[in-house]
Amino acid sequence: MTSPAADLAALQTPCLVVDEAKMTRNIEMMSARARDLGVTLRPHLKTCKSVDIARRLLTDGTGPATVSTLAEAEVFAAAGVRDILYAVGIAPQKLDRVLAIRRRGCDLAVILDTVEQADAVAAAFWRSGDTIPALIEIDSDGHRGGLKPDDPALIEIGRRLHGGGSALRGVVTHAGGSYDVVGHAAHEAFAEQERSAAVGAAEALRAAGLPCPVVSVGSTPTARAARDLSGVTELRAGVYVFFDLVMAGIEACAVEDIALSVLTTVIGRRADRGWLLVDAGWMALSRDRGTASQAVDQGYGVVCDEAGRVLPDLIVIKASQEHGVVAARPGAAGVDLPVGTRLRILPNHACATAAQHQAYHVLPTEPGAPLMEWPRFGGW
């Protein structure tokens, strides 16, 4: 039997590595948070895009789940997930595809925030005879789409859905602005803002005589920091399964919690500049520079040794398509490693980095167990 270290040494680089023990701790942490808050956890599968990981995230592997593409909905529904929320505003042209997934036995719901979308959903029902459940998106922080809880259009959309043969399932919001603040107290304030907006919208719908069984909130920072989710029925979060440097930079996790990395090899040195060249460029790491606006800019990723131990003050400072440049932060001592040395790079944004790869190479929790390979997918 080979060891995981020997298995890693046999891999071609660059490739994606997951630490199963860290991933499992992250999953268990969020499950415990939902239980403590008295809500259902609806994990977002957009980060992992993997059936193997989804089965570890979801209750009995069947849901509830959140997705960001219909390709995700199709793959996970085919794998037995039976309760999915497609949490991107629905384009009317996609409704036939939604109906096809629902006819295969998956309770797929959509979100929307305009009268036009509500009318399209109702028209799809009258055309097909099949109901499409819909949640109205609420803007809780000005981050992106959605209606304010007191917008008169909320009631009009609710009436068109409820009276148009579709199912008004509830309201949904996402505190994306929580990614722009740092620390537990700031995230807790966003969590309450998120809760208040969603609950307020639900109360407005009910006061108008409309049903609102689901009140859905969530982001990884607010899910970690929320103290009270009174009036909320479900919590959504996704990147927590791996975490990343952006999450560490806003103190939603520690660097030690990051379960995802890119294995790379030193392929050259520039001693005159203090550079190491590696075979992981932006095609392996992504172009995401999400830490650039944070207090600590992590370049294109933090450098670890092959065992996953952080090498102090080493980051990927530049990336071209297939080359990365590793160097010390300004003022720190550099390091000279021989060609052939294997390193691991922690990502700025786990979703973006994972999207560059077709499989996860999983370091097992069980001592002595072999490395596992779990496929992942992409597309829309």
CATH code of the domain containing 11: 2.40.37.20
Q: What is the pLDDT of residue 165?
A: 65
Query: Are 297 and 223 within one domain?
Result: no
Q: Which of 222, 245, 268 is the C-terminal boundary of a domain?
A: 245
253 assigned to some structural domain:
no
Domain around 304: 4-15+259-375
Into how many domains does the chain fold? 2
Same-domain check for residues 204 and 266: no
Residue-wise pLDDT tens digits, 128-148: 999 999 999 999 999 899 999
pLDDT at 163: 83
203/54 same-domain check? yes
In a domain, 30, yes or no: no
Does residue 250 lie within any of the structural domains? no
Over residues 68-96, the pLDDT tens digits come to 999 999 999 999 999 999 999 999 999 99
Distance in angstroms (rounded) separating the CA atoms of residues 356 and 320: 14
Which tokens hold the place of 129?
């005879």
pLDDT of res. 4:
64
Q: Is the pLDDT assigned to residue 65 strictly greater than 80?
A: yes
Mean pLDDT of 288-314: 97
Q: Are the CB atoms for 142 and 174 separated by under 8 Å?
A: no
209/346 same-domain check: no
Name the average pLDDT for the chain. Answer: 96
The CATH code of the domain that includes 85 is: 3.20.20.10
Q: Is residue 4 classed as helix, strand or coil in its secondary structure?
A: helix
Percent of the chain with pLDDT over 70: 98
Q: Are residues 46 and 149 in the same domain?
A: yes
Output the pLDDT for position 5.
Answer: 66
Tell me: do 171 and 44 sit in the same domain.
Answer: yes
pLDDT tens-digit readout, 227-261: 999 999 999 999 999 999 999 999 999 999 999 99
- Clarify whether residues 164 and 271 are in a common domain: no
Sign of the dihedral through C-alpha 42, 45, 47, 50: positive
- Which band of pLDDT confidence, cut at 50, 70 and 90, is reported for residue 3? low
pLDDT at 334: 78
Please give the pLDDT value at position 7: 83
Is 231 contained in some domain? Answer: yes
CA 131 to chain centre: 28
Q: How far apart are CA 96 and CA 178, in angstroms?
A: 34
Do 309 and 225 share a structural domain?
no
Reference 178, options 218, 127, 235; nearest CA is: 218
In this structure, the answer to whether residues 54 and 146 fall within a common structural domain is yes
What pTM value is reported for the model? 0.95
In a domain, 254, yes or no: no
